[in-house]
Structure 1
C-alpha cells in the first residue's frame, strides 16, 4: 500500500463518499494521526502518561483503569492493522494492568495509580472492570501471550464479585476490600460490560458471553427503553428502579439520559444481532428506534455536534458538546449502512456524512493528532471537564469500525495502516 498523506481532512459536501477510496483514505489518515499522537504517552516507568493538547505529559495526573485498558484495546486494534510499534504499546499496557492496577491483596483492579505505581484510588468499579475484559479480549485477538491469563482473572472477578446473577447484570461499586460503598446501579457500566462481553465472545467463541450481553439489552432496551419513548435513563436504585433525580460525577454519572449512549448501544445491538446469526430480529428494530430518538434529541441543529444529556421527556439538561457522542453517532450510522436497505440507505449516508463533517470541523486535531474532547459555545477548545486529550478509544473506533466489511469487529479483517 502506498503511504497516505496525513492532510486528508475534508469531508465532501456532496457526491459519493461512503465506501469510496476517498472515504477509506480519510479514515486511515486520521487513524494514523491518532496512533502517532498517543504512542507518545508511553512511560518507561510503567503505564501511560495523560497528555495535553500537544502530546506532552500532564504532570501528576493519575493513571486511571479505564484509560490504561482503552490504550490496550485500541493499540491491539492497531497491532492487527499493522501499525508500527502498536505491539509494544499493548505489551506495556498489559504489564501495567497486571503489575499496577491488579490488586494482589484483595483481587480485582484498582481505579487509579500514581506515576510511581502507588494506589491513588483503590475503588473497585464495574465500569473499569468492563474495560479490563475488553482489553483482555482484544489482546487475545491480537495474539498477546498474557491475554489468556488476564482474561481468566477478570472473568473470575466479574463472576464472583460484580455479576448479579439474579438480575443478569452488573452491580456497581465497592471499596478496595470489596465492602459495599453504595447502592447505586447504572446503565453506563452495564453498557460497556455488554461491549466487552461481545468482544470476549468474538475472542473465545464462548456463547455465555453473548447470552449475557443479550440479557443486558433485554432489560435496558426491551424493558426500560421501550417504556420511556426509547430514551434510556442512566441511573437506578439497588432494586433497579429508575432514579430520575440522581446526579453524580458530571462526566460518568450526569443526570438524565445521554443520547451518545443510545448511539453506542444502537451499534452494539447490531453487532450482537450479527454475532447471533441475525436470528433475533427485534435487535435491529431496537437499534433503529434508539438511533432515531438519539438523533432527534441530541443533534444540535444550530451549532453542530451532539448535546450531552436530556431528561426523560427529551428536554435539554446539559448542552455541553464532547467528542465522544459524535464518534458513537458515526459508529452507529456506519453499522446502519452495513445492515441493509431497511436500516441504511441514502438518509443514513447523509447522516453519516453529517456526523463526520461535525467531527472534522469541531473536534479533530488535523495538525497534532487526536481529538479535542470538548468545545465551548463558540466552538473553541474548552477544559471544564477534561484536561488534555483523554484517550484514543472512541475516536479510533470511529475511524476503524466503518472500514470493517461486516458488523462484528472481525479484527482480522482490519485494513492495514503499516505504510501510513
Structure 2
C-alpha cells in the first residue's frame, strides 16, 4: 500500500465543498419524483416520472427521510417535500383497516403483504421528520414503532421477524439479514428521535446475532438468508441470484453497510453512557475487509453484486449503492481508527463513482452498470432513489453519532 497521504480528503475544504455541491445536485434531481396526488414516484434515466410504476412506499419513505436531512440544513424547498411525503405515509400507503403499511398504493393487483424491510424505512422517515420538527411526524413515528413492536420485533429472537399477510395472521417462514440491517439503521434513528435507549439495545441485539454470531462464523461474510429458526439458508434464491432485495449468496455491499452501522451503533452507545462491547469495532474492520473481496472480483473495476461462498463472482452487475456504502464505511473506519488504508479506499471508490456512476449529462447516478461498467437495467431500471447517493455526500462530514438528523438539528450553525 502507498504511503499515508499528507491530508485526508475529508479534511480538505475543496472536497467538502464538492460533496455539498454534488449533494445539492442530487436533491434537485429528486424533486421531480413528487407526485401531484401524493407520495413520490419512480424516475427514469432522464429524471422523468415513470408512469408505468405505481407510487411506492419505499421510495416515498426514503425521499421523506432524505429531504428531512435537507430541511434540517435549511435548504429551500425541502420542508414542503417532507410534508408531502408524510401525508402520503399517513394516508395513501397506510392500511387503515389492519394497520401497517402497504408496499405501494393499493390498486388492482397490488400486493397487500406487510414487509419488515419497508416498515424500517417508514420508521426512519418518521424519525428524521420528527427531528426536523414537522407536524404529524411524531405521531407517525409512534404508530410505526407500535406496528414494529406488535408485529415484527421478537424479544425471544432478539431480532426482526420477516413479512406477514395483510391481517397479520401468517408470517413468512424466513428471516433476513437485509431487513434486520435496515432495522438497525431505523432503531438508531428512533432512539434519537424519542430519547428511548431501548431501541439502541435492540439494534445491538440484532448486530450480535447477524454479525458477531453468524457472520463471524462464516469468515465475516454476511449470511443473508435464514429459516425461521435462524438456520443459515445458503441456497436461497439460487435460481434467481440477481434479486433486488434477496440475492443469492454473499452481497459485498451489505458487508460494507454493516461495517458502518456497527461503528454508528458503537458511537451511539458510548455517547449515551451505555456499554459498547469491543467486538463492534473489531467486527466492523473484519467485515469491511471481507467485503472488499468483491471489489474487481471479476477483473474489472467495481464491486460485483454477489459472490458465492467461495468468494467467486455470481452476479457481475454493479449496483450504485454498493460503492456508496463503501465510501461511508471507509470514512467511518478512518474516523474511528485513523488507519490510512481506509483513506485509500475512500479515494478509490469516490474516483470510481465519479468516473462511472455519476451521470454528468442527465443527473443523479446510474443505478446499475453491467460487468463492463456500462449503464444497464437487469435488476434496477431508472433512477428512483437518491437516498444512498445523498447520504454518501453528507455522512462523511458528520460524526459517527448521533444520527444525522439529530446532529443537524442540534448544530444549526455548523459549516458542512
Q: Same fold (TM over 0.5)?
A: yes
Residue number in structure 2 paired with 1:288: 285
Matched, 1:76 2:73: no
Moved more, 131-140 or 408-417: 408-417
Task: Please give the alpha-carbon distance, in whole angstroms, between the structure 1 residues aligned to 2:186 and 2:109.
Answer: 25
Cα deviation code 1:20-44 (max 9, x no counterpart):
0111011111101100000111111
When structure 1 is superposed on structure 2, of 164-173 and 297-306 the one drifting more is 297-306
Q: Does 1:156 align with 2:156?
A: no
Aligned residues: 403
Aligned in 2, Cα 1:316/1:408: closer, same or farther, shift over 3 Å?
A: farther
Which of 335, 349, 368 is the aligned partner of 1:355?
349
- Contact 1:184 1:237 survives alignment (8 Å): yes
Structure 1 alignment gaps of length 5 or more:
1-12
Closer, same or farther: CA 383–217 of 1 in aligned 2, 3 Å: same
Residue of 322, 327, 332 corresponding to 2:329: 332
Paired with 1:157 and 1:335, the residues of 2 have a C-alpha distance of 31
Unmatched segments (≥5 aa) in structure 2? none
Corresponding residue for residue 256 of structure 1: 249
Task: Classify the secondary structure of the residue corresponding to 1:293.
Answer: helix
Contact 1:172 1:185 in 2 (8 A): yes
Deviation of 1:299 after TM superposition, in Å, equals: 4.3
Describe the superposition over 1:226-268 as per-residue Cα deviations: whole angstroms up to 9, x where unpaired: 1110011110001110001111771111111111001101101
Q: Which moved more, 1:226-235 or 1:240-249?
A: 240-249
Q: Distance in 1 between matches of 2:338 and 2:317?
A: 29
Please tell me whether the aligned partners of residues 63 and 385 of structure 2 are also in contact (alpha carbons under 8 angstroms): yes
User: Cα offset for 1:364?
Assistant: 1.0
1:111 correspondence with 2:103: yes
Match of 2:93 among 98, 101, 106: 101
What is the CA–CA distance in structure 1 between the aligned matches of 2:247 and 2:179, rounded to whole Å?
13
Please give the alpha-carbon distance, in whole angstroms, between the structure 2 residues aligned to 1:14 and 1:40: 41
What's the secondary structure of 2:314's corresponding residue? Answer: strand
SS in 1 for 2:305: strand
Match of residue 397 from structure 1: 391
1:315 to 305, 312, 315: 312
Select 1:365's aligned residue among 359, 367, 378: 359
Alpha-carbon RMSD = 2.3
**Does structure 1 residue 345 correspond to structure 2 residue 335?**
no
**Please, which of 12, 36, 43 is the counterpart of residue 20 of structure 1?**
12
- Cα deviations by residue, 1:57-79 (Å, 9 ceiling, x for unpaired): 10120122211110111110111
> Which 4+ runs in 1 deviate beyond 4 A?
13-16, 412-417
Deviations 1:68-113 (A, max 9, x none): 1101111101111222100011000000111111100000001111
What CA distance in whole angstroms lies between the structure 2 residues aligned with 1:97 and 1:118?
A: 20
Partner residue of 1:141?
A: 131
Counterpart Cα distance in 2 of 1:174 and 1:410: 31
SS at match of 1:317: strand
